[in-house]
Structure 1
C-alpha cells in the first residue's frame, strides 16, 4: 500500500507544480525541480532513490519515442549534419575534455573512469531545452537542431559510459570508443527500422482505436528490451522507430485512432516529464547523506566540471558551425547563421535525469569515488537547469535570435488548404451521382468555409472575422443544446446512454472549434 500512496503523492505534486508553473508563467520542469529540492528536506518524508533501470527502461523510451513521433522527419534530415555534430561529436569531445579535467583534479582515479563520468554529464536533456526553445520562439531550424541533438545524444553518452567503464584498468582511446559508438548505433538503426515496419504493419490492419493505442504504447518498450538483449543502442532504435512511424502515421491510422492516441500520449508525456524533474530534486537529501568526499574537493570538482561543460560547448559550436562552410556544397545548401545563433545553441545545454541515472550505473571501487561522481552529476543538472534554463530566454531576446513564423505558416496553410479544397470539390463532383442536391450543396459550403477560414488568418485581427463569429455563436448554441439534454436526462425522458452519445457529438464539435481558435 505504501508504494501506491507514494506514487499518488508524487503524481499529485507534479500536477500541482505544473498548474503553478502555468499560473506564474514559468517552465514546469524548473518549478518541479525547485519543489523537489525543497521537499527533499521536509521532515517525515521518505528518502527517494532513483533506480537507473527505471529511468533508462521505464521513463526515457516513451519520452524519446513520443518526441520522435512529433518530429518533422523532412526538417530532421535537412539538419542531420549539425545534429550529428552535436549528438555524436560534441558528446565525445565533452566526455574526453571533462575526463582529463577530472583526472587532473583526482589523479588517483583511473582515466577510463573519468572519461566515463565525462560521458555521464555530456548529453543535454531531451525535454527542457526544446520546451524553452519553442516557448521563446527560437528560429525553427534552431529548434529542430536542439530536438535532434536531444533525441540522439543519450545514445552516444550511454555507449561511451559502458565502454569506458568496462575499460577500467586498460587503455582507452578516442577511436576505440568512436568505433563502438558507430557499430552500436548502426545496429540500433536497423533494429529501429525493423520494429517500425512491424508496428506499421500492425497499425495498418487494426481498426479498433484502443488496440492502436496499446500497440503504440508497447512499441518503445519492446524496442528497448530487444535492443538491450542485442547489445545495441536502444536509444537510437527507439528514435528511428518513432521518426519512421511519425512520418507514416497519417497513412496508418484512422482519424479516431489519431485523436485518441494523441490524447493518450499527451497525458503520459505530461506525467512522466513532471515525475522526472521532481525525482531529480528529491535526490538531494539522499545524495548529501551518502557523500563521503570532503567539502573542498566536492566544491572544486563540481565548479570545474560545470565550467568545463559550458566552455566545451562553446569551443565546439563555433568551429562546427563555420568551418564546415568552407566546403562549397555545404555553403550552398545551408545559410550562414549570425554568431548569435551558435551562442544560443551553446547556452541551451541543460542536463536532465538521464545524467543522474547514468551516474548511478558507474562502477564503485576504492579508486572510483562513485558517491562524489553521483553528487557532481546531480549538481550539474541543478546548475544547468536553474542557470541556463532561467537565462536562455533573456539571452535569446538580447541577441535577437527569435523568429515569428505565424504569418509565414498562415500563408503556407492557406495556400495548401486552397489546393486541398479544390481537390475535395473535384472528388465531391465525381462521387455525387445519386446523392441529394441539398447534401451536395452543404458539402460544397463546408469546403468553401474551410478554405475561407485559412485565408482569414492572414487578415487583420483588429475586428472579429466571420469564422471567429461563427465559433463564438456556435459555442453558445452548443451550451444551450447541452442544457436541454441534461434536463431531459434528469427528468427521465432519455437514458444515460442517449445523453452520452449526444454529449460526445457536441464535445467533438466544440473541440474542433477550439482547435480552430488555437
Structure 2
C-alpha cells in the first residue's frame, strides 16, 4: 500500500468509527462492512498487504496500551484463572479446531488445520471489557478477561509461528515446539521486565511529559523487536513491560499521566480501525479465490461455521470445567501449604453467573485477523491461504455478531453486578481520604513555623485556620475534601500555592501507601490519582494565568 492509500484508509476508518460510536454500534464490524463495500467498487484497486508488517506495527502498541490499564495486584491474585484461559485454553482450542478442520477438509493437511486452530484460538477482550465497564461487571471478572486477552496473544502467536513453519515445509519436532515456547516465555518476560524497570527509573527521574510520551510510543516496538530478535516472545515482552510501567505510573509526574492517556486512546482507535479496514478490503479477493479453489464455497463455508461453533463450545466447556477442577485443587493444596508454612493465595471466587459471562466473552478480534494476513506461502496448496483467511474472517465476524451483541443482554438478565464491591470501593475512598486529610494537616502543622517566617504570622494562621475549618466541616462528605481544601487555600493567597502543592503531594503519598499495603484497590487508586492530577493541573493553570496577568515569565 502507498502512503496515500494508508492515509485514506485511516481517515475513512476513523470517520466510520466515529459514526458507529455515536450510534452505539460495533465500530469494528461497521468498518469492515464499509471497507468490503468499497473494495468491490470497480475503480478501487486490489490491496496487497504485508501481513507480517501489519502484525509488527499494529500488535505491540495495542497490547502495550491494554497492559498499562491492568491492575497488577488483581492480575497476580487471579493469575491461576488467567493462566488457564490465557495459556491452556488457546492450546486446547488450537488442537480441537485443528482436529475438526482435518475431519472436514483432510486435503488441507494436518499442519494447515492446526495453523487455522492457532489463528482462531486467541480471544480479544476489548469488546467485552467495554461492555463490562459500561454495565458494571465485578472487577474480578474484568481482571480475568483483560489478563486473558494479554496472555493468550503470546500463546497463540507462538503456536501460529510453529505451525506456520511446519505448513511452509520446515521440519519441526514436538520437542522443538515445546522448547521454542519455553524460550519465548522466559526471554520475553525477562526482557520485558528489564525494559519496564529501566523506563520506570527514567519516568520517575525525568519530569518532561513530551519526552516521556515519545519514549512511551517507541517502547512497545523496541520491546517487541528486541525480544523477537533474541528468540523470545515479543508479545510477552510488551505485556510485561506495560504491566510494570502501569503499576509504577502513579509515581511519575501528573503531567506525564495526563499527557499519555489521550495519546494511547487515540492510537487504539486508529489501529483497530486500520486492521478491520484492511480485512474488509481484502475480503472480496479472498472470496473470489475461494470460489475458484478445489474445496469450493460450500466446503469452505461449512469449514468456517464448524470452526466458529468449535471455538464457542470449547470455551464454554473449558471455563466451567477448568474452574471446578481448580477449586478442588485449591481446597486440597490450602492445608498442605499451610502445614509447610507457605502462604496460600486462593483464586477469587466466581459465581456461576460470572462464569457464564466469561465463557460467552470469547469474541475474536485484531490478533486473529492480523495473523490471518501473515501466513506464509504453503508450497503444497497455495490456495489454502485463502481458506485460512476466510475462516478467520467468519470466526471474527461471527463471534462479534453473536457474542458481542448478546453479551449486554446476558449481563443484565443475570444481574451480574457486585453492589458489595461498589460499597467497598466507597469505604476505601472514605478511609483513604480521611487518612490523607489527617496526614496533610499534620504536615501543615509541622510547616507552620517555617511559613510564619516566610509569609507572616497573621496571613499564615488565617489561611491555615480556614483550611482546617473547611476540612472538619466537610468530614462527613470526605470525597469533596480535596477540591474544597485546595480551593480555599489558593483563593486565600496566591503566594501560598506551595501549601496546596504540598497538600496534594501528601495525599498522593497516602494513596500510594494504601495501594502498596493492599488496603486500596488499584482501580480505585487510579480514580483518586486522576482527581489529584486534575487538581494539580488546575492549580498550575491558575498560576500560569496569574503570571500572565502580571506579565511574568513562569
Question: What TM-score results when the alignment is normalised by the length of structure 2?
Answer: 0.77
Partner of 1:440: 464
Shift, 1:262, TM fit: 1.9
The alignment partner of 2:351 has SS state of: coil
Matched pairs, number: 468
Partner of 1:63: 62
1:321 and 2:329 are equivalent in the alignment = no
Give a deviation string over 1:127-165, Cα, whole Å, max 9, x none: 223222222322211111010010111111111111223
Q: Residue 541 of structure 2 is aligned with which of 505, 509, 514? A: 505
RMSD over aligned CA atoms reads 3.1
Residues 243 and 401 (structure 1 numbering): CA distance in 2 closer, same or farther, change over 3 Å? Answer: same
What is the CA–CA distance in structure 1 between the aligned matches of 2:139 and 2:464, rounded to whole Å? 41
Partner of 2:532: none
What is the CA–CA distance in structure 1 between the aligned matches of 2:466 and 2:353, rounded to whole Å? 53
Give a deviation string over 1:320-372, Cα, whole Å, max 9, x none: 11011112167883454333322221211111122122123333222461111
Partner of 2:196: 196
1:183 and 2:199 are equivalent in the alignment = no
Partner of 1:232: 232
Of 310-319 and 433-442, deviating more is: 433-442
The alignment partner of 2:449 has SS state of: coil
Shift, 1:213, TM fit: 0.8
Q: Residue 345 of structure 1 is aligned with which of 335, 358, 380? A: 358
1:365 and 2:379 are equivalent in the alignment = yes
Partner of 1:427: 443
Residues 200 and 106 (structure 1 numbering): CA distance in 2 closer, same or farther, change over 3 Å? Answer: same
Shift, 1:407, TM fit: 3.7
Shift, 1:119, TM fit: 0.6
Shift, 1:299, TM fit: 1.1
Shift, 1:171, TM fit: 8.3
1:413 and 2:413 are equivalent in the alignment = no
What is the CA–CA distance in structure 2 between the aligned matches of 1:454 and 1:58, rounded to whole Å? 46
Of 111-120 and 129-138, deviating more is: 129-138
Residues 444 and 95 (structure 1 numbering): CA distance in 2 closer, same or farther, change over 3 Å? Answer: same
The alignment partner of 2:272 has SS state of: helix
Of 218-227 and 395-404, deviating more is: 395-404
The alignment partner of 1:333 has SS state of: coil
- Which residues of structure 1 form unaligned runs of 5+? 458-465, 475-500, 510-518
Of 402-411 and 318-327, deviating more is: 402-411
Partner of 2:311: 309
Shift, 1:286, TM fit: 3.0
| Alignment check: 8 A CA contact 2:124 2:149 kept | yes
Residues 373 and 270 (structure 1 numbering): CA distance in 2 closer, same or farther, change over 3 Å? Answer: closer
1:278 and 2:293 are equivalent in the alignment = no
Partner of 1:477: none
Partner of 1:161: 160
Partner of 1:207: 207
Partner of 2:84: 85
Question: What TM-score results when the alignment is normalised by the length of structure 1?
Answer: 0.82
Partner of 1:490: none
Residues 186 and 417 (structure 1 numbering): CA distance in 2 closer, same or farther, change over 3 Å? Answer: same
What is the CA–CA distance in structure 2 between the aligned matches of 1:264 and 1:448, rounded to whole Å? 39
| Alignment check: 8 A CA contact 1:47 1:285 kept | no
| Alignment check: 8 A CA contact 2:140 2:348 kept | no
Residues 24 and 103 (structure 1 numbering): CA distance in 2 closer, same or farther, change over 3 Å? Answer: same
What is the CA–CA distance in structure 1 between the aligned matches of 2:141 and 2:208, rounded to whole Å? 38
Shift, 1:255, TM fit: 1.6
Of 177-186 and 114-123, deviating more is: 177-186
What is the CA–CA distance in structure 2 between the aligned matches of 1:330 and 1:146, rounded to whole Å? 25
Shift, 1:94, TM fit: 0.5
What is the CA–CA distance in structure 2 between the aligned matches of 1:507 and 1:71, rounded to whole Å? 34
What is the CA–CA distance in structure 2 between the aligned matches of 1:317 and 1:63, rounded to whole Å? 25
Partner of 1:218: 218
Q: Residue 402 of structure 1 is aligned with which of 417, 420, 423? A: 417
Shift, 1:230, TM fit: 0.7
Shift, 1:126, TM fit: 4.7
Residues 433 and 129 (structure 1 numbering): CA distance in 2 closer, same or farther, change over 3 Å? Answer: same
Q: Residue 388 of structure 1 is aligned with which of 403, 406, 428? A: 403
The alignment partner of 2:416 has SS state of: coil
| Alignment check: 8 A CA contact 1:29 1:128 kept | no
Residues 167 and 507 (structure 1 numbering): CA distance in 2 closer, same or farther, change over 3 Å? Answer: farther
What is the CA–CA distance in structure 1 between the aligned matches of 2:282 and 2:472, rounded to whole Å? 57
Of 391-400 and 370-379, deviating more is: 391-400
Give a deviation string over 1:370-394, Cα, whole Å, max 9, x none: 1111111112111111111111111
Residues 100 and 502 (structure 1 numbering): CA distance in 2 closer, same or farther, change over 3 Å? Answer: closer
The alignment partner of 1:434 has SS state of: helix
Residues 138 and 31 (structure 1 numbering): CA distance in 2 closer, same or farther, change over 3 Å? Answer: farther
| Alignment check: 8 A CA contact 1:52 1:361 kept | yes
Residues 110 and 44 (structure 1 numbering): CA distance in 2 closer, same or farther, change over 3 Å? Answer: same
